[in-house]
Amino acid sequence: MTSHWANVTISLSPMKLVVVGGGPAGLYFGILARKALPNSDITILEKNAPGVTWGWGVVFSDETLENFEEADPESYHQITETFTQWDDIDVHFKGRMIRSGGHRFFGIRRMRLLEILQKRCVQLGVRLQFSREIDRIDKSADLIVAADGINSKIRSQYSEVFRPNILSGKNKYTWLATTKVFESFKFFIRENEHGLFIVHAYPFDKDMSTFIVETDECSWRKAGLENATEQETVSYCETLFQNELEGHPLLSNKSSWISFRRVKNEAWHHQNIVLIGDAAHTAHFSIGSGTKLAMEDSILLAQSLKENNSIPEALHAYYDRRWLDVAKLQRAAEVSQTFFEDIQRWKDFDPEPFAFKLLCRSKRVTHENLRVRDEKYIAQVDRWFADHNGCKDITPAPPPMFTPFSLRELRLMNRIVVSPMCQYSAEDGTPDDWHLVHLGSRAIGGAALVFAECIVRSIFLPGKELWILCTGTRAHTSACN
């Protein structure tokens, strides 16, 4: 996301803005809207009382914090004075711990983040009204910002316009916390008599860590968690992960077992109503970007209001500038989510390939990305892969692409394959000089396997025509009377 606050002329006249929802998205928009349109009347309505929130820690990346610094340096400095920082991701699997460094993330207590944003709103003259359950929209407002979360009442009220698409995930998860302070992001994968359980854990304060427990529905039911109380859930997870917790308790905060819901909307705005944050879109918690997405929505919406001459123009500009980045991140989140939902497929892997696959699960992180972040870790990955693919005597270990690969009796010297290019034309089914030169050049280029296209040859037999389709590996025949 690119922001550009400087040197933009304020176009819109003072307005009445009503924000429904006092989470990070709504509060941050209130701050930035006040700065963009200083004479406007801005009210944020929150259904909960002050000091009430659900969940525990919030995670940000370097890039996200840079956007915050440019948008509002005052709140940025307060956030960065409070956060916890870590660089490593540790995958605990089959009694081993595989560490990858250089990831650089920051955690902050959700309640602390809300307090910072609330105080900043008050400082700027944004009105905060708590314990306000909104059933009807204030029609007198020039702009209504629906920041009312995944269960957005405003989105539901205008569902025929926004056309939401909500898809529930296959796994169950519960959002807990612990007084055990982890020094890095932790993935704990543990199997018991009921099934496979995954923990996503990370520090967010000097005395607290988030501890999300995820499992498939079959394991969840076998463990008797379908009808478990909140305390029974806590007790089960404390027992299962007692070694990882090292005597520390798990804490709950309305921590029921739920399925993640992916939210998309065909439209993000209607007349003078606009959706931001979880009301507009969600991203699976395994990539930790829900709050990031919400607050970056606020940045671009406030910018669009500042840079355009009317509400309709601003809302169209907001959507046009925002939807693609959201779509990309949602796609990465869906791929990451699928990895954890299908984790049974990988549980027989050795720790090294399992950890590597987990780290690259969203497809945004690759072998080369990891090399830039942690060259030592990738050297270990390459060494393991080479040793298990006939290259024990080669030092340094070759990249995985240049290790041998076996297809039944066929042994390839590397993993580079040239696919068919569909550009040849055989005359009466006979390859010509073009085939020889082109395929020959590919073959001597170092690829271990080169696929040729089909060659079609017609053979006339008495009473019928027989076509032979040759692919280089097998022949298919069909007879026509």
Asked if pLDDT for residue 245 goes beyond 60, the answer is yes
**pLDDT tens across 155-196, in order?**
999 999 999 999 999 999 999 999 999 999 999 999 999 999
Over residues 356-365, mean pLDDT: 95
Asked if pLDDT for residue 469 goes beyond 60, the answer is no
Please return the burial class of 201, using the count of CB atoms within 10 Å of its CB with bins 0-12, 13-18 and 19+: buried
**pLDDT tens across 405-440, in order?**
998 999 999 999 988 877 666 677 677 787 788 888
What the chain holds in terms of domains, given with CATH numbers, is 7-83+102-169+260-350 (3.50.50.60), 351-410 (no CATH), 418-480 (no CATH)
Pick from 448, 442, 367: nearest CA to 411? 448
Asked if pLDDT for residue 470 goes beyond 80, the answer is no
Q: Which residue has the higher pLDDT, 458 or 414?
A: 414
Q: pTM score, two decimals?
A: 0.87
**pLDDT tens across 283-340, in order?**
999 987 789 999 999 999 999 999 999 999 999 999 999 999 999 999 999 999 999 9
**pLDDT tens across 373-411, in order?**
999 999 999 999 999 999 999 999 999 999 999 989 999
**pLDDT tens across 68-90, in order?**
999 999 999 999 998 899 999 99
Pick from 313, 288, 215: nearest CA to 257? 215
Half-sphere exposure of 452 (CA within 13 A, CB side): 22
Task: Quickly tell me which residue has 């029921």 as its tokens.
Answer: 256
Q: Which residue has the higher pLDDT, 425 or 60?
A: 60
Structure tokens at 87: 């660089």
**pLDDT tens across 9-51, in order?**
445 668 899 999 999 999 999 999 999 999 999 999 999 998 8
Q: Are 65 and 58 in contact (CB under 8 A)?
A: no
Task: Quickly tell me which residue has 């990882």 as its tokens.
Answer: 244
CA angle 380, 383, 385 (to 5 degrees): 110
Where does the pLDDT of residue 456 fall: very low under 50, low under 70, confident under 90, or very high at 90 and above? low
Return d(Cα 68, Cα 49) in angstroms, integer.
26
The whole-chain average pLDDT of the chain stands at 89
